[in-house]
DNA sequence: CGCACTCTTGACCGCACTCAACGTTGGTGG
DNA sequence: CCACCAACGTTGAGTGCGGTCAAGAGTGCG
């Protein structure tokens, strides 16, 4: 991550190589011969840990493809209560707001590099490349299915079931190191705000899952799944 | 509703007039001259109250446009806990599952008439009509935004705030009768399973909102918003 | 080493859940 | 037409899961 994030050619235009690789994932369906022209429309953006890519309610002027790092998408109530509606990982696509304004804030959990398109140019691209539009529709549908699963979690699962579901889902999306260790870049507060719990309950539930042998915790920012079948049974009720 | 639902030409193929009107809403962006050809691809389906249009996990073979009635979309845990991820009203589009199987069950809350397309034929339609694909993408994105708002509700709002949000949202989507009366076709159990509460808490909270003068309840299946500003302030935290 | 920040753990509390009884409504058949 | 019954909704009493408040332990950085 840090190699890409620190690369000097990522600080501005034009598109860096790592971004170009990520962009291909989104843009499959486009004639490969047109990719250079496509790359010319995009720029690299590096965002420091904790900084905001855009805020809820901002005019939606840009869309992104994640190259490296982790982004949290969150919605706030006026009194400060927060719900994290998702975490974006490398390869994910982000910012496709219909209605003109973003429906959530996007903040960098770690240092982030993302491939940025101006929205009008991207929308024109959609018109010209039906394959690209189909890809975006498929991704949006997948996001919707994930959101519905999260509704089941938030509405009906216990704290243990929520954390088990989250850890399994995050492990599946992450690259897993030797020994089955999964890096957990976000803090307990972010996990709590994603699972509809408090940090104390998240912390207690981590300890609980460790005590009962379902996971181990090499550090506060990593975990290892020990009994996957049992954890899965817990997660799915 | 009952006029359309009972019409004999709604019980089978070909497409009834009411369905055709609804279909137009989804298919704006298609050359109007091609609509007869389009209508030939669709059939009407009537579903009795309480019956299922399709189940979670079923092979996704059909997509629907709602003509009349109300459908609930729900996900189940093995032990019976249920989360209703949404209610579909006339004009809504339903069943666009990527991945081959439906991610939720769809059941008729009232008698329902829906305009049905075979999925392969509909996907071919998407290829041939970029305007239709754009419309489906816009609708899916809107659904996603609604789902994210529901995550905030389920993760962070109190029972009062949840019910206030639901009533305001449902009123906005419904046709409102004289006197501001909004019909509420679903029972307390459905509302509870949508808001992540129990029927007792929903019932108590209805009484609470009535007692504090924010709403009135002409019957158990209707409500009137009395102090919209106050209800909105409650719903938004 | 010291400070700030995050995480963990403990004690207690409260909102929503559970269990239970009762009221209301609509459909059915005598 | 009314008695009966089943389904649904309401209300009350008590409980418990997760929240709140508070203290202490780990961790990283200057």
**Greatest mean pLDDT range, A21-25, A84-88, B136-140:** A84-88
C-alpha of B207 from chain center: 25
Check if A57 contacts B (Cβ < 8 Å).
no
Residues 142-181 of A with CB under 8 A from B: 142-145, 147-152, 154-157
User: Above 90 in pLDDT, residue A231?
Assistant: yes
Chain A residue with minimal CA distance to B95? A141
Chain A residue with minimal CA distance to B150? A151
User: Above 60 in pLDDT, residue A196?
Assistant: yes
In this complex, the answer to whether residue B198 has its CB under 7 A from any atom of chain C, a nucleic strand, is yes
Q: What integer pLDDT is reported at residue B156 of this predicted model? A: 98
Greatest Cα pair distance, chain A, in angstroms, is 56
Q: Which residue from B231, B229, B224, B226 is spatially nearest to B180, judged by alpha carbons?
A: B224
For B175, counting Cβ atoms within 10 Å of its Cβ (0-12 exposed, 13-18 middle, 19+ buried), the class is exposed
* Mean pLDDT in residue range A59-65: 93
Task: Report the distance from CA of residue A212 to the C1' of nucleotide C20 in Å, as an integer.
Answer: 36
Least confident of A40-44, A76-80, A121-125, B163-167: A40-44
Task: Assess contact for A230 and A214: CB atoms under 8 A.
Answer: yes
Nearest to A196 among B138, B148, B154 (CB): B154
pLDDT class of A152 with cuts at 50, 70, 90: very high
Length of chain A in terms of residues written:
237
Per-residue pLDDT tens over the stretch A85-111? 999 999 999 988 878 899 999 999 999
Higher pLDDT, A91 or A5: A91
Average pLDDT, chain A: 87
User: Above 90 in pLDDT, residue B217?
Assistant: yes
Task: Assess contact for B8 and B73: CB atoms under 8 A.
Answer: no
User: Above 70 in pLDDT, residue B159?
Assistant: yes
Average pLDDT, chain B: 87
Question: Using CA atoms, how far apart are residues A17 and A11, in angstroms rounded to an integer?
Answer: 12
Does the beta-carbon distance from A152 to B83 stay under 8 Å? yes
Q: What integer pLDDT is reported at residue A42 of this predicted model? A: 83
Q: Which nucleotide is the nearest neighbour of B162, by CA and C1'? A: C16
B 199-228: CB within 7 Å of strand D: 199-200, 202-204, 206-207, 217, 220-221
């Amino acid at each position: 991550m840090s190699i890409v994030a620190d690369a000097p050619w990522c600080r501005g235009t034009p598109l860096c190589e790592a971004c170009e690789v990520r962009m291909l994932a989104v843009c499959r369906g486009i004639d490969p011969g047109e990719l250079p022209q496509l790359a010319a429309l995009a720029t690299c953006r590096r965002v420091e840990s904790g900084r905001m890519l855009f805020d809820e309610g901002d005019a939606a002027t840009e869309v992104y493809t994640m190259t490296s790092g982790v982004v949290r998408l969150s919605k706030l109530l006026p009194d400060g209560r927060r719900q994290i509606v998702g975490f974006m990982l490398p390869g994910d696509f982000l910012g496709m707001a219909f209605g003109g304004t973003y429906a959530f804030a996007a903040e960098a959990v770690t240092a982030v590099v993302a491939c940025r398109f101006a929205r009008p140019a991207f929308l024109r691209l959609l018109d010209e490349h039906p394959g690209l539009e189909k890809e975006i529709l498929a991704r949006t549908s997948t996001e919707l299915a994930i959101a519905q699963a999260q509704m089941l979690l938030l509405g009906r699962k216990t704290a243990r079931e929520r954390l088990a579901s989250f850890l399994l889902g995050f492990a599946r999306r992450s690259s897993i190191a030797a020994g089955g260790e999964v890096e957990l870049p976000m803090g307990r507060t972010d996990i709590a705000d994603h699972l509809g719990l408090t940090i104390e309950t998240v912390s207690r539930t981590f300890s609980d899952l460790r005590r009962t042998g379902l996971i181990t915790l090499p550090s506060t920012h990593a975990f290892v799944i020990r009994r996957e079948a049992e954890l899965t049974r817990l997660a799915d009720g």
